[in-house]
Amino acid sequence: MNEFQDIDLTQIPQHIAIIMDGNGRWAKKQMETRTFGHNAGVEAVRQVVEGCVELGVKHLTLYAFSTENWNRPQYEVDALMTLLVKALRAELKTFQKNGVKLNTIGDLGKLPNNCQTQLLDTFEATKDGDRLQLNLALSYSSRWEILRAVNSIVKDIRVNDFSEEVTESVFKTYLDTKDIPDPDLLIRTSGEFRISNFLLWQLAYAELYFTEVFWPDFSKKELAKAILDFQKRERRFGKTSEQVKS
C-alpha cells in the first residue's frame, strides 16, 4: 500500500511542526501506564520521520518536551528522558541511512547530562544529513524563547553598540529557529485545539491541522491525510484570493 499516492509531490510543505499529544490517554484506554504510551509514541515518531524523508519534507519539528512538562511527576520526567536517550541510540543508523540531521530547540542545559551528551553525539554523527532536518523541541517554550531573544537584544544594545532597527528578520536571528524556515503546517493530535506555547512567532502563517487520533496511533497514513488537507488550502498570506491566483 502506498499511503502517499494521492499527494501532489510539487506541493509538499517544506516544514511540518507537530504537537504530539495523547500518549497518556492512549495508554489509559488500554489500562497501561503513561510510560507505555510514551514508548508507543516513539514508533509514531519513526513513521513520521520516515514519511517526511520519503516525501521530501525538509524540516520536521517535534514538540517532545515542553518547559511546562518539567512539572510532571518525577518518574514520568525520568522515563521521558531515558526514552529520549534510548530512541536516539536506536535510531542513529536509520538517521544516517536516510540523511536525517538532528537538531534541537529549547533550553538544552536543563536536560540531564546523559541526555545532553547523547544529543551532542547525535548532532555530530548526523551533521552531514541533507534530506531532512529533525528539530526536537526539548525543554522548549515559545515565551521562554521570545523573552530570551528580547533580553539578548537589550544586552546587545547596552553592551555591544547595537543600533539597528529591530525588524522581523533581525528578531528572527535571536530565535532558536534562526536557520529554520517557518512551519507551513502544524499538526496537533488527540483532539485538543491549542498551540500550548509552541512556536508562537514562527506559526504566524502556518496552516493548522487537528486530528482526534492519539499520537501513538499516528502513522504514515495519518501524515498523508494531514498533507492532503494542507494541499486543499489556499495560502494567502494576507492577500486576496484573486491576487494569489494571478
Q: Is 39 a catalytic residue?
A: no
Q: How far is the CB of 158 from ligand FPP (least distance, A)?
A: 37
Q: How far apart are CA 178 and CA 169, in angstroms?
A: 9
Given candidates 7, 81, 83, 208, which one binds ligand FPP under the rule CB under 6 A?
A: 83
Q: Which of 2, 6, 23, 69 is catalytic?
A: 69
Q: Which stretch binds ligand FPP (CB under 6 A): 36-44, 98-106, 111-119, 143-151?
A: 36-44
Q: Is 103 a catalytic residue?
A: no
Sheet strands side by side (includes 185-188): 100-105, 132-140, 59-66, 15-19, 185-188, 207-210
21 lies in the binding site for ligand FPP (CB under 6 A): yes
CB nearer to ligand FPP: pick between 119 and 206: 119
Question: Can you name the residues that pair with 207 across neighbouring β-strands?
Answer: 185
25 lies in the binding site for ligand FPP (CB under 6 A): yes
175 lies in the binding site for ligand FPP (CB under 6 A): no
Q: Which of 21, 176, 184, 217 is catalytic?
A: 21
CB nearer to ligand FPP: pick between 44 and 149: 44
Interacting positions 207-236 with ligand FPP (CB under 6 A): 215
Binding mask 48-67 for ligand FPP (x = CB under 6 A): --------------x-x---
Given candidates 41, 51, 129, 183, which one binds ligand FPP under the rule CB under 6 A?
A: 41
CB nearer to ligand FPP: pick between 34 and 225: 34
Q: How far apart are CA 118 and CA 102, in angstroms?
A: 11
Interacting positions 120-139 with ligand FPP (CB under 6 A): 136
Residues forming the active site: 21, 69
Q: Which residues bind ligand FPP (CB under 6 A)?
A: 20-25, 34, 38, 41-42, 45, 62, 64, 69, 83-84, 87, 136, 190, 215
